Amino acid sequence: MHRVSAMTIDAYIDALPKAELHVHLVGSASVPTVLELSRRHPGSRVPTTGEELREFYRFRDFGHFATVYEAVNALVREPGDVAALVTGLARDLAAQNARYVELTVTPYSHHVVGMPMREVTEALDLAARAALDDHGVRVAYVFDIPGECGAEGARVTLDHALGEPPQALVGFGLGGTEHVRPKYREAFRDAFRAAVAAGLHSVPHAGEMTGPETVWEAVEGLRAERIGHGIGCLGDPRLVAHLRDTRIPLEVCPTSNLRTGQIADLGEHPLPRMLREGLFVTLNSDDPPMFATTLRGEYRAAAEVLGLDREALAGLARNAVVASYLDPAGKQALLAEIDAVTAAHGAPEPAR
């Protein structure tokens, strides 16, 4: 029997090559970066000290989180700020042995503060090259519609995605408060129809703060190829069966769900049940500094709080690579690295 080397679970998680599929540009801003921006732009609602910012990031519910996110987002006023956020995230991910990220960008938020579309795209392109050259992290982008902004948000997002896209744009998404979506259903469907026709992948958020009906709309109305969060699917056995049969990946973000009040306790997160149901699950950090987490931290919580073993953790790492829009050669190389780590340091040999 092959004998693996002794390695703590923390070291094993660190050794696993990772991909991050669900993380937001503004939500990835480190605490020092946010403090720097808030001091640079006095008069904003964002605190200028670390202690005050930590308190600012104590969210009562998703609505409160959205308000705080909007305030931080308003600090990003220049293309250089956009580029700095991308390269900062790449630096943070590299320290966690993450090799690839699909970063969600909300072009409408840059549009409303007057950033020209072309300049935003140039900043994203420049930052993607710097992320690879300086940190070894490959960056791809997903443009998402802020759901609260309705038809106007959909139009601006689509115009940017089709008219001035960054070179690494791979996906088209929909975020924000899910409860408003029925009001703008046709506008969102039309935007996704055009984006998919142009070759972008459909990756909307759904089932984060609502139930199965939002996930069904993502699948049937938005032609979702991958779904952000998706935990609300569990209320409908027919939907669970459909997701299992079609292998639509779900971008699960446990700590995010806790911090925004979607679950009361991390130990109650439905991730283990989703895996038992045979769903295609990936593990992600969403807005890591805002939620006091990291991608590495999500894997540790999955192990220490949710009881996932090394085989399950490696399965989540593989799923993220398979579900990504990385090129086939890149996927094959990352999967081979994951397999090498699990072969050397995977499940311990049973005692004889």
Question: For residue 166, which of 198, 204, 128, 109 has the smallest C-alpha distance?
Answer: 128
Q: How far apart are the C-alpha atoms of 187 and 189, rounded to whole Å?
A: 5
Contact yes or no for 225/203 (Cβ under 8 A): yes
Contact yes or no for 312/276 (Cβ under 8 A): no
Contact yes or no for 281/316 (Cβ under 8 A): yes
Name residue 286's beta-bridge partners: 23
The string over 10-35, giving b where at least 16 C-beta atoms fall within 10 Å of a residue's C-beta and e elsewhere, is eebbbbbbbbbbbbbbbbbbeeebbb
Q: 3-state DSSP call for residue 202?
A: strand
Contact yes or no for 230/203 (Cβ under 8 A): no
Contact partners, residue 55, CB within 8 Å, separation at least 6: 47
The string over 82-114, giving b where at least 16 C-beta atoms fall within 10 Å of a residue's C-beta and e elsewhere, is bbbbbbbbbebbeebbbbbbbbbbbbbbbbeee
Distance of alpha carbon 335 from its chain centroid, rounded? 20
Measure CA of the first residue to CA of the last residue in the chain; give whole Å.
11
Q: Which of 208, 217, 251, 298 is catalytic?
A: 208
Amino acid of residue 180: V
Catalytic residue check, 122: no
Q: Could you list the active site residues?
A: 208
